[in-house]
Chains A and B, each alone.
Chain A
Amino acid sequence: MAKQQIKAKKKLAHKRTLGSIISFERRKTIEGWGFALPWLIGFVMFTLIPLVLSIRISFFITQLTDLYGFEGHSQWVGFQNYKDIIQDPSVGEAVFNSFANALYQVPIIVFFALFVAVLLKQKFPGRVYFRVIFFIPVILAGVIMSYLFNDGVGSVNVFGSIVSNSSGWMGNILGGRLTQYIGNIMWSSSVEILIFLAALQSVPDILYEVVELDGASAWESFWHVTLPYISPFVILNFVYALVDSFVKYDNPIMSMMKQMTDTGTKYGMASALSWMYMLMSLLTILIFILLTRRWLR
């Protein structure tokens, strides 16, 4: 017993000396970076270095085959790739489309997701099944969504063919392009719904009980309790939806880049485009975050 106590004391003394050797500030730094280190190594190796290398590539005219040996027949052209992109009218159009899409899609996605999440948070029979249903597009993401949009089947008007038997106004409305747009936007909102649901769970029930006692309606308690409480997540979802819409496979710029890399001959140009596009998207997100800073607790 006594021995153990002495041992414990020795340990403590040892700790103290270690603590005094390394200053508090420095220890904090080491701990902070230490925890982040495993992630950071992976990030540097597989994201940062490739990113920097792609800057280098953007100053060359290269082909896929040259790149594997890297030097090969690649030709240094300076800013020529960037100039070509700026002067290409189809790029400008694609950029405009991609931003215009984001402008109308993102708010709809976020508000729709919030609406659904609030409904899904209520207690009612079959709640679990509904939660699964609203997440199906993400579960299927890789497999069937590409079926529906990319491959030959992409031309299928899903809604049109469902109601093809029911003629008249019903078929006209459901078969129209508008429904397809709506369906597309809805299918993009699954992750946002999930994030909102998780956020809504964190609102303490006691707050609702208090405002209910004060005679608040459901509408009032949403505006004065729920929304202020989850406002950081509203911002988060806006950012998530923005990023998602910028890098989605059906984004005009993304498909343009895919074309350039698929042919394997315009790799330098694709790198240049991706850098310019990345900076533009980043600027958009930064402006958005700065504008909404005060809701970010």
Chain B
Amino acid sequence: MFQVDVDYLKKAKKRRDRGKVVIILFLTLMGVFFLLPLVYLFCTAFKPPEELFLYPPTFFVKNPTIQNFKDLTAITANSAVPFSRYLFNTVLITVSYIFCLVLILTMACYPLSKHKFPGRDGLMGLVTTSLMFVAAAAAIPQYLIITTLHIDNTYLVYIIPGLANTTCLFLMKQFLDTVPNDIFEAGKIDGASEWQLYTKIAIPLLRNAQATVIILTFGGIWADASTSTTYIYKEQLRTLGFFMNTIGGGIARTGAAAASSLIMTLPSIIIFIIQQSRVMDTMAHSGIK
């Protein structure tokens, strides 16, 4: 009797193991595709000049060199504004932008998902509509508004215009929609105020969505160069992304530019690795189940 059970368990385990092997095989095959851009970036950063200008370009590097990185450090040492200032600006802007964004989005999605107030459907319609919004066509009016508000040439211009992010709001609202209303009603019966419902229930339950939003927006704000070019005239207020972009100018610096792209990418990868574990694990402990 027991013997049979053990046999069955062994078989089941074997089947599961075989399943895992198949899964890993499948994912490796597809993962190769997804790794290609990173491999290309990596290879390009280590290419000597004669390989960088090959036509048609090659994918892999043949004679890797760290000359590009040496050039890059030489350039950063000679920049008009100390390199540390660019780094400080970028870190400050990125951190405050993401903090404000998550706060504003969680606040906005809470009533949109869990309240029935007059005008809600209209507001949601507006959000969905502006998902289609083509940014390029409104660039000029946006410029006019920013200059009228006199927030150009300050740190605010990096942070404020991007806060009204509709894509992320849409995502967050969809996440909150899947949280049962019962949890909020239970809170209400226990006498929680709206603010408490928001801070004690909505925010913890939205950690998943928050991590998603952070991952999605981090790369954009971290490497952003166009805001510095368009709105900032003081070199001290410009960002790392802008500085790295200026390196790209001139054929002699192509190698250094490739190296800088690789370096600019690393923080995004680190943020993703940190945040993704939040995405994966929080749901398991969140009490939704």
Contacts and interface: CB of A to CB of B under 8 A. Distances in A.
Nearest to B28: A130
A104 interface: no
A183 B178 CA distance: 32
Contacts of B26: 119
A197 B33 contact: no
Contacts of A289: 128
A130 B27 contact: yes
Interface residues of B, number: 95
A244 B53 CA distance: 33
Contact of B37 (A32, A122, A144): A144
Contacts of B175: 198
B265 A120 contact: no
B81 interface: no
Chain A: number of interface residues, binned into ranges: 35 or more
B219 A138 contact: yes
B110 interface: yes
Contact of B219 (A141, A157, A239, A261): A141
A39 B219 contact: no
Interface string B267-286: 01100110011011011100
A41 B108 CA distance: 11
Interface stretch (A86-94, A95-103, A275-283): A275-283
A261 B133 contact: no
Contacts of B6: none
B132 A187 contact: no
Interface in A45-61: 45-51, 53-54, 57
Interface in A184-229: 186-187, 190-191, 194-195, 197-199, 201-202, 204-206
A143 interface: yes
B219 to A, nearest CB: 6
B36 interface: yes
A183 to B, nearest CB: 6
Contact of A142 (B115, B149, B219): B219
B138 A54 contact: yes
7 contacts: A28-B116, A29-B119, A35-B110, A137-B34, A198-B212, A257-B134, A257-B137
B136 to A, nearest CB: 6
